Amino acid sequence: MPNSFPSPWWKNAVIYQVYPRSFADANGDGIGDLSGLTARLDHLQHLGVDALWLSPVFRSPMCDAGYDICDYTDVDPLFGTLAHLDELIAQAHGRGLKVLLDFVPNHTSDQHPWFIESRSSRDNPKRDWYIWRDQPNNWRASIDGGSAWTWDETSQQYYLHFFLPQQPDLNWHNPEVVTAMHQVLHFWLQRGVDGFRVDVVHCVGKDPSFADDPRCMAGETMVKINDQPYSHEVLRGLRRLVDSYPGERVLIGEVNIRSTAQVAAYYGASDELHMSFNFPPLDAPWDPVVFRMCIREVENDLGPLLAWPTWVLSNHDNSRHRSRYGGSLRRAQAAAVLLLTLRGTPFIYQGEELGLEDTVVTAQTRVDPGGRDGSRAPLPWAVQAPHGWAGAAPWLPFAPDADALAVEVQEGAADSTLGLYRRLLACRRRSLALRLGAWEELPSHPQVLAYRRHCDGDERLVCINFADSEHTFPLAEAWQVEIASDGVDEGQVFSGRLAAEQAVILCR
| Active-site residue list | 199, 254
**Position 163 contacts ligand GLC (CB under 6 A):** yes
Spatial neighbors of 56 by CB under 8 A, at least 6 apart, are: 65, 66, 67, 69, 101, 102, 104
- Closest residue by Cα to residue 180 from 236, 255, 68, 105: 105
Q: Which is nearer to ligand GLC, 223 or 337 (CB)?
A: 223
**Position 152 contacts Ca ion (CB under 5 A):** no
Can you say whether the dihedral through the CA atoms of 36, 38, 41, 44 is positive or negative?
Answer: positive
Q: Which does 29 bind (CB under 5 to 8 A by kind): ligand GLC, Ca ion, none?
A: Ca ion
Which one of 11, 13, 17, 33 is in contact with Ca ion (CB under 5 A)? 33
**Position 64 contacts ligand GLC (CB under 6 A):** yes
**Position 169 contacts ligand GLC (CB under 6 A):** no
Half-sphere exposure of 187 (CA within 13 A, CB side): 15
Q: Which does 163 bind (CB under 5 to 8 A by kind): Ca ion, ligand GLC, none?
A: ligand GLC
Stretch of residues binding Ca ion (CB under 5 A), selected from 20-28, 86-94, 203-211, 400-408: 20-28
Q: Which is nearer to ligand GLC, 28 or 371 (CB)?
A: 371
Q: How far are the Cα atoms of 151, 232, 366 from residue 351, in angstroms, in the given order?
A: 41, 34, 20
Q: Which does 44 bind (CB under 5 to 8 A by kind): Ca ion, ligand GLC, none?
A: none
Question: Is the CB of residue 194 less than 8 Å from the CB of residue 170?
Answer: no
Question: Is the CB of residue 65 less than 8 Å from the CB of residue 143?
Answer: no
Query: DSSP string spanning 292-327?
Result: HHHHHHHHHHHGGGTPPPEEES--TTS--HHHHTTT
Which one of 199, 358, 482, 501 is in contact with ligand GLC (CB under 6 A)? 199
**Position 81 contacts Ca ion (CB under 5 A):** no
Shortest distance (Å) from residue 98 CB to Ca ion: 24
**Position 29 contacts Ca ion (CB under 5 A):** yes
Stretch of residues binding Ca ion (CB under 5 A), selected from 29-37, 174-182, 371-379, 484-492: 29-37
Shortest distance (Å) from residue 315 CB to ligand GLC: 7
Q: Which runs of consecutive H residues, i.e. helices, occur in 391-431? A: 407-411, 417-430
Q: Which is nearer to ligand GLC, 19 or 466 (CB)?
A: 19
Alpha carbons 260 and 271: distance in angstroms, whole number: 18
**Position 76 contacts Ca ion (CB under 5 A):** no
Question: Is the CB of residue 368 less than 8 Å from the CB of residue 67?
Answer: no
Q: Please, which of residues 349-408 interact with Ca ion by CB under 5 A?
A: none
Q: Please, which of residues 274-333 interact with Ca ion by CB under 5 A?
A: none
Determine the 3-state secondary structure of 454 from DSSP. Answer: strand
Q: Which is nearer to Ca ion, 385 or 414 (CB)?
A: 385
CB atoms within 10 A of CB 397: 17
User: Mask 231-270, x = binds ligand GLC (CB under 6 A)?
Assistant: -----------------------x----------------
Which one of 86, 233, 317, 411 is in contact with ligand GLC (CB under 6 A)? 317
Q: In what order do the strands lie in the sheet with 157-160?
A: 132-133, 157-160, 149-152
Which one of 3, 27, 157, 262 is in contact with Ca ion (CB under 5 A)? 27
Q: Which is nearer to Ca ion, 34 or 461 (CB)?
A: 34
Question: Is the CB of residue 118 less than 8 Å from the CB of residue 124?
Answer: yes
**Position 104 contacts ligand GLC (CB under 6 A):** yes
Shortest distance (Å) from residue 254 CB to ligand GLC: 6
Alpha carbons 140 and 303: distance in angstroms, whole number: 34
Q: Which is nearer to ligand GLC, 87 or 368 (CB)?
A: 368
Shortest distance (Å) from residue 145 CB to Ca ion: 32
Stretch of residues binding Ca ion (CB under 5 A), selected from 12-20, 30-38, 52-60, 499-507: 30-38
Instruction: Identify the helix (H) or strand (E) that includes residue 485.
Output: none
Can you say whether the dihedral through the CA atoms of 172, 153, 213, 224 is positive or negative?
Answer: positive
Residue 404 DSSP code: T
Instruction: Provide the β-strand partners of residue 160.
Output: 149
Determine the 3-state secondary structure of 12 from DSSP. Answer: helix
Question: Is the CB of residue 453 less than 8 Å from the CB of residue 438?
Answer: yes
Shortest-Cβ-distance residue relative to ligand GLC: 67
**Position 67 contacts ligand GLC (CB under 6 A):** yes
Instruction: Give me the residues that bind Ca ion (CB under 5 A), please.
Output: 25, 27, 29, 31, 33
Instruction: Give me the residues that bind ligand GLC (CB under 6 A), please.
Output: 64, 67, 104, 163, 199-200, 254, 316-317
